[in-house]
Chain A
Amino acid sequence: MSFLDLLELDFVQTALIAAAVLGLVAGVLGPLVVTRKMAFAVHGTSELAFTGGAAALLLGIGIGYGALAGSIIAAVLLGVLSRRESDRDSVIGAILAFGLGMGILMLALYKGRASNKFGLLTGQIVGVDSTDLKLLVISSIAVLVVMAFIYRPLFFASVDPDVAVSRGIPVRTLSVVFAVLVGVATALSVQVVGALLVLALMITPAAAAMRLTASPLRATVLSVVFAELAAVGGILLSLVPALPVSALVTAVSFVIYLVCRAVSWRRSRSA
């Protein structure tokens, strides 16, 4: 089949819509995730989304709901248990290892198709059906609406916590709310790129954008553009050679990152 024929297939179109929505959410959250040094937390949350997905598979309910439940529980656990920043890394490590172990146990007990199992870890966006898409779009809108409401205080608390506290901003509550938002976005990304590769959408585009500009607004816009390029571009590139989507999404994302690093390096040398 040619490229254009492939584009007319229902499941390809569904996948592209899912990727575009995801790119927007991941791109918006990314700069704050990077600023708050939450890369490891995102990775931990995505492993727990995998555990939730595996549990859902075993129980015979939608994987999407399981992943969502798993990562929200993870986000709340991380928020509550790591009350001190210095605790955060070790708390994530402990929860992540246990969750991954439970996920493997549940997959071992599952008697269904093996490709479903593998997809949770490495992604299988072509498996997104219209109910999954509905969940994805509704969750994404919810995340973006909450973000719009809390953005300014959250940004304040992320870059300048001492002064934010002095202005009466509920810094701790906001960090739990943001962890839950990240959890939702992570659960959604798991369906596209799999639990192991969520960082390619949540971290890499934002890290690349932040190499180019010190303006928070411009960084967010660029981060969205890069995440869209990676998510949608990755799928388009994967169609004709029939390669795994996640491989190309992560590759595009990484190339963008390298280019941005090179640009910022050249700038700093010429300055």
Chain B
Amino acid sequence: MSAISLRGARLSYGDRVLWDGLDLDVEPGEFLAVLGPNGSGKTSLMRVLLGLQPLSAGTVSIAGGNQAIGYIPQQRALDQSMTLRGRDLVGLGLDGHRWGFGLRGRQDRRIRVDAAIEAVDGTRYADSPIGVLSGGEQQRLRVAQALVGDPTVMLCDEPLLSLDLANQRVVTELIDKRRRESDTAVLFVTHELNPVLPLVDRVLYLVGGRFRIGTPEEVMNSRTLSELYRTPVEVVRVRDQILVVGAGACEEQTHHLSAEAAS
């Protein structure tokens, strides 16, 4: 059974169709990168998978439902004075959605949180206020927060944004390790393919209502991208990197789930 399954999925706002006829299966242990320019519906796809946005047509299913999802948001500067330690952030990933106090099983909880922190090598700073940690440290704890609930699916929304190269590698490796060891499916939204290219099994590329699904070789070539963008696009391989020229595909801005949920 697929970890994520979309059938004939369509999402439109009024006349504007973000995507239509999307059939997608992500298998356990598979790494799928979702690419595309701003406004192509990457974030909306994420919202559909999280159950925050109903499809206009078609069906979506996630093995195990919402509770089986580990979600990693993009790194953002947290308030320095925030009354929150790293271990609290990770703990929220375990049982923050439950009602009531949860006084029972505190010891078991502590063991699981400690183990998740240890797995991302974050024990040293787990008791520091979250606001004073570096972006890389915060993002490692984000990975721990997503993994502590033992997810079958990881949804990553630009988790490498604003990280330096070394930390991009650390976070990517942690995500890769998880999917290899536990067969967790990974759906990774990004505007920059290269940092995760060695891990990517398949790419979903969204542009202006059109999309293409396939291996990086099948999708990331001049012919396919030129068709998608409907303008000449040059794809060049330099060493183990893929450079896309002429698509205006590079963009920095991405949406936040909560900002959209509030509107």
Contacts and interface: CB of A to CB of B under 8 A. Distances in A.
Given A166-B257, A215-B88, A153 B66 contact: no
Interface in A30-84: 31, 35, 83-84
B99 A166 contact: no
Interface residues of A, number: 32
A155 B92 CA distance: 9
A163 B73 contact: yes
Contact of B101 (A85, A151, A168): A151
B51 A168 contact: yes
A153 B97 contact: yes
Contacts, number: 103
B245 interface: no
Interface string A146-161: 0011111101100111
A172 B263 CA distance: 10
Contacts of A160: 89, 92, 96
A171 B256 CA distance: 14
B155 A166 contact: yes
Given A162-B256, A165-B258, A166-B155, A214 B97 contact: no
Interface in B69-119: 69, 71, 73, 81-85, 88-89, 92-93, 95-102
A171 B261 contact: yes
A100 interface: no
B99 A150 contact: yes
B83 A214 contact: yes
Given A153-B97, A156-B92, A162-B73, A172 B66 contact: no
A160 B256 CA distance: 12
Majority secondary structure, A binding face: helix
A216 B85 CA distance: 8
A214 B98 contact: no
Nearest to A160: B92
Interface in A125-171: 148-153, 155-156, 159-169, 171
Given A35-B82, A148-B101, A215-B85, A165 B261 contact: yes
A152 B95 contact: yes
B88 A216 contact: yes
B50 interface: yes
Contact of B258 (A83, A167, A171, A213): A171
A83 B101 CA distance: 28
A219 interface: yes
A171 B257 CA distance: 12
Interface in B196-233: none
A185 interface: no
Interface in B8-63: 50-52
23 contacts: A35-B82, A35-B83, A148-B100, A152-B99, A153-B96, A155-B96, A156-B96, A159-B83, A159-B84, A160-B92, A160-B96, A162-B257, A164-B96, A165-B50, A166-B50, A168-B50, A168-B51, A169-B97, A172-B262, A213-B83, A214-B128, A214-B129, A215-B88
9 shortest interchain CB distances as A-B pairs: A214-B129, A156-B96, A166-B71, A161-B258, A167-B97, A162-B73, A168-B66, A210-B83, A219-B83
Given A84-B262, A166-B257, 10 more contacts: A152-B97, A155-B92, A160-B89, A162-B71, A162-B73, A163-B93, A167-B66, A172-B261, A214-B129, A219-B83
Interface of B: 50-52, 66-67, 69, 71, 73, 81-85, 88-89, 92-93, 95-102, 128-130, 145, 155, 256-258, 261-263
Interface of A: 31, 35, 83-85, 148-153, 155-156, 159-169, 171-172, 210, 213-216, 219
